[in-house]
Structure 1
Amino acid sequence: MDGINPAQSPADLRLERRIFAASHGRDMTPEERETLERIRPPRTYPVRLAVQSYDGPIAMLPVAQLYVRDVPDLSPPEGKDLLQVLWCPFDHPIMPRTLLFWRSAAAVTDILDTPPEPPAVQFNGYLPEPCVLEPEQITEYPDHLELSEELREQLKQWSVPQAAEEDMDPDTYYDCVLSNAPGWKVGGWPAWNSTDPSPRPCSECGTGMEVLMTVATFEEGDDAGNSWSPHPHPGAGPYPGHRGYNATGVQIGSGYRQHLFVCPAEPEHPHIELMT
């Protein structure tokens, strides 16, 4: 645990978010400022943190719970129809450390009214806000870096008139508007924004890994126009009229996406995490 991202309780992080949301567009009250100072007291240097030790296991944070009946593209192991995605509440290099659990919904009978929570979360962006799942099926295409040079040039030429109409660069029009949908998604194609494509063989059997799920900081891209806008919902997001750009409260790195790759031959083989 470090002085850059000192851990906070989930309750304090949620209270901090509520204060920022309630004070949007106005000055904070003295009580709000006092509460925020209690949650994040002014730092003194050098930073010295007293880290409390905990006995026993620490609960992981729930990230997503997906049923095959809602998301038929999941392709679960035989006999499973439920995917639960969890991640560690403490910071790991670059991005959160995830765990995948494939389960049979019918076998889950002892359901807790209140899921367990970790005593502390090291980074605000690791604590997801509860959201209702409303799947929307779309069609997308590979990033231009996964295409041949010939096809890239054809796409560039095809994009010239459309890009001109939307005042966009034809070199980036395909990736921004036609290729990869922003936001959280199951399946589809990864977007290669910060690294180049590379082989991703399964560590158990060597089969090429495929994208299972993408966890994104933002639901919409500023450079995508209205091409990938999700259905708007009143009050979505932390601020009134926010339209859900960051309704989950999750932040990957400095605002990136975390792709989870699984083995298509055996989804329960170890998965791969990749931030782009």
Structure 2
Amino acid sequence: MVRTTPLRPVDIASIFPELAPLARQAVRLHPRPGIPTPYESSIGGPLLWPANEKWPVCTEMHDDSELPVSLDDVRRRRALLEAAWLRPRGPKENLLSQEERALLDTLQAGHPSDGEPNALLPVAQLYLRDIPGLPCPDGADLLQVLWCPLDHETSLPAAYLVWRDAASVVDPLVSPPEPADVDHYGNYVPEPCILHPEPVIEYPAPHELPEDLLDRLAVWARAEWTKSHPEDEDHGSGDAYYQYELSVAPGWKLGGWGPWSFSDPWPMLCATCKTECRPLLTVSSGEWDGGSGSWIPLEDRVPPAGPVGLREPSDPPMVSIGRGYNMQIYICPVSFDHPHLENMQ
């Protein structure tokens, strides 16, 4: 199936020509529940990994303010809650039975970490054939992203990037190692998803625009908003119209612009050569919410019939960054060998 982003309400670059040179292509990944194979692009699916290549592990310090849990704990907890949400119940009937509540408490209790290196967890696998504009070194056609599913110094999971030539993997690994520890709430454990990539055009978040342009955009946005919301004319509404409707697409995506939100932008400079890095991958806590409903794909605008379960339509991977934010991975345009950068917005 395809996913189709609705046309933006207006062609903002025709109204503000200064934005035209700032247009960038992003590829919305539109992850949806599925059973991907190692030979497909996916979120949270199995990786095409050579059997003779060492699986990466994390040896960094982790945030120990809350006990980690096991990957099996997360899977069993999600299965328990999914079944509970899907079964019919009366208006005064509890979601869980006493036995299920006790089991859930056990699964959420956590365990002390043994301090051993933690095997990394697959996050994304992106084939060049599926993802328009996927940056790859010469001879590579596959990007694989793994991370340590625990909080680190940046309050983010630590990502690990691998580019490879898919055709060179003739003896793939069948049963990769799994991490002994994941974050207490399982926020960094993506559910398997197949992808429906879709190129879209983005413009910078308001935080990255020159002040003069931003001021004129704000005046225009308020006037544009009150055309359809006259009741808001005296309340300053519409200031976020450009940000939420016309600039940066929400959700998991490749490339485009960074979704700066609760902080002002700062230079994302390569630690090796000081070149400005560009967004590679945005990991999102959800593809839409109350402020980004106009970005809901046309194919997803009719709510599913019947109970939804634990896995909400707006967040099939079930990944949560911070308090519902985004994690961006930036790479240096000079060399794929230079270390990447991570940011939360």
TM-score category by the smaller chain?
0.7 to 0.9
Whole-angstrom distance in 2 between the partners of 1:110 and 1:86 = 20
Provide the residue aligned with 1:74 in structure 2: 134
Give the counterpart of 1:129 among 171, 191, 197: 191
Provide the residue aligned with 1:21 in structure 2: 82
1:58 maps onto 2:118 in alignment: yes
Residues 184 and 216, structure 1, Cα contact 8 Å, conserved in 2 = yes
Deviations 1:7-26 (A, max 9, x none): 21111101111222222274
Residues 253 and 282, structure 2, Cα contact 8 Å, conserved in 1 = yes
The amino acid across from 2:222 in the alignment is: V
Provide the residue aligned with 1:251 in structure 2: 320
Residues 235 and 243, structure 1, Cα contact 8 Å, conserved in 2 = no
Residues 251 and 285, structure 2, Cα contact 8 Å, conserved in 1 = yes
TM-score between the two structures when normalised by the length of structure 1: 0.87
Could you say what secondary structure the match of 2:138 adopts? coil
1:115 maps onto 2:184 in alignment: no
Instruction: Calculate the aligned-residue CA RMSD, in Å.
Output: 2.6
Whole-angstrom distance in 1 between the partners of 2:224 and 2:288 = 20
Residues 182 and 221, structure 1, Cα contact 8 Å, conserved in 2 = no
Whole-angstrom distance in 1 between the partners of 2:319 and 2:310 = 18
Residues 235 and 242, structure 1, Cα contact 8 Å, conserved in 2 = no
Counterparts in 2 of 1:165 and 1:243: CA distance versus 1, 3 Å:
farther
1:86-125 matches, cutoff 5 A: 86-93=146-153, 94-123=155-184, 124-125=186-187
Provide the residue aligned with 1:156 in structure 2: 218
Whole-angstrom distance in 1 between the partners of 2:228 and 2:145 = 38
Provide the residue aligned with 2:200 in structure 1: 138
Give the counterpart of 2:255 among 181, 187, 203: 187
Note the residue ranges of structure 1 that are not aligned, 5 or more in a row.
Answer: 44-48
1:42-53 matches, cutoff 5 A: 50-52=112-114
Provide the residue aligned with 1:274 in structure 2: 343
Residues 82 and 310, structure 2, Cα contact 8 Å, conserved in 1 = no
Whole-angstrom distance in 2 between the partners of 1:186 and 1:61 = 20
Residues 83 and 309, structure 2, Cα contact 8 Å, conserved in 1 = no
The amino acid across from 1:213 in the alignment is: L
Shift of 1:4: 4.5
Shift of 1:96: 0.8
Paired positions, count: 266
Note the residue ranges of structure 2 that are not aligned, 5 or more in a row.
Answer: 1-61, 90-94
Whole-angstrom distance in 2 between the partners of 1:266 and 1:193 = 28
1:229 maps onto 2:296 in alignment: yes
Shift of 1:103: 0.8
Counterparts in 2 of 1:189 and 1:50: CA distance versus 1, 3 Å:
closer
Provide the residue aligned with 2:44 in structure 1: none
Counterparts in 2 of 1:201 and 1:136: CA distance versus 1, 3 Å:
same
TM-score between the two structures when normalised by the length of structure 2: 0.70
Quick one: higher RCO (CA 8 Å, sep 6+), 1 or 2? 2
Provide the residue aligned with 1:175 in structure 2: 243
Residues 213 and 261, structure 1, Cα contact 8 Å, conserved in 2 = yes
